[in-house]
A = this chain, B = another copy of it.
Amino acid sequence: MGKIVMGPQTLVYPMPTLLVGTNIDDKPNFMTVAWGGIANGEPPMISVAIRHIRHTLKGIRQNGTFSVNIPSADMVREADYCGITSGSKVNKVEACQFEVFYGKLGNAPLIEQCPVNLECKVIHILDLGSHALVIGRIEETHVSESCLTDGEPDVSKIRPITYIMSPVTRYQALGEVLAKAFSVGKELKPGQ
């Protein structure tokens, strides 16, 4: 099996599809972010990469807070819309009919229809080039009651969306369960 060299690429599979929320001039706005992930365990932190020109960055700087909302598969149209439009030109909340609520932080807007909502306080903003890497401490987590099983968030009810960059940019659902984590690898442990 040969390898082809392709130069520096932002090629990670799979990426999440996240809706980052901020208040901008006191109005809620959301943008779609695929470049993000958990950044720390204790305390829980998350990072999201946001292009400098984005309206969302203005809101993050104004408030020192933001939210991360996880849309479900039936919100794929709304998730895409929030990535291809700017809050400086359209009212995304209205266009998407998002029901917005606020939690512990008071100024990080959350989307009722998204099964998981994280409220974040900004810890670092790193200028890395085209994007700012915003690192936030997760201050509160909200999960839709209908997406719990025995009190735990259930991925099969949340139905998150992955963002795929290549060969064509598209959204995919999750598929078959491959194995239990912290378990299947034991088969390779010497003496087991």
Q: Which residues of A contact B (CB under 8 A)?
A: 1-16, 18, 34-47, 49, 51, 68, 70, 73, 76-85, 90, 95-96, 101, 103, 112, 116-118, 123-124, 126, 128-131, 133, 135, 137-146, 148-150, 152-155, 158, 160-164, 166-190
Select which of B6, B37, B140, B180 is within 8 A of A169 by beta carbon.
Answer: B180
Please judge, given known A-B contacts A135-B128, A172-B177, whether A146 and B35 are in contact too, CB under 8 Å.
no
Question: Cβ of A42 and Cβ of B80 under 8 Å apart?
Answer: no
Structural contact, B49 and A6, CB atoms closer than 8 A: no
Bound: A82/B185 CA distance, A: 8
Q: List 9 A-B contacts (CB under 8 A).
A: A7-B140, A11-B116, A12-B68, A13-B160, A76-B179, A85-B185, A150-B167, A169-B182, A173-B175
Contacts of A162 in B (CB 8 A): 14, 162, 174
Q: Are A14 and B12 closer than 8 Å at their CB atoms?
A: no
A43 proximity list for chain B (CB < 8 A): 8, 129
Chain B residues with CB under 8 Å of A118's CB are 9, 11-12
A9 to B41, CA, bound (A): 9
**B170 engages A181 (CB within 8 Å):** yes
Of listed A15, A128, A181, residue having the most chain B CB within 10 A: A181
Instruction: Indicate if the CB atoms of A166 and B142 lie closer than 8 Å.
Output: no
- Tell me the smallest distance from the CB of A79 to a CB of chain B, in Å: 7
Residues of B within 8 A of A189 (CB): 81, 85, 90, 95
Q: How far is the CA of A145 from the CA of B1 in the complex (A)?
A: 7
Chain B residues with Cβ below 8 Å from A171 are 177-181, 184
Complex Cα gap A10–B80 (Å)? 24
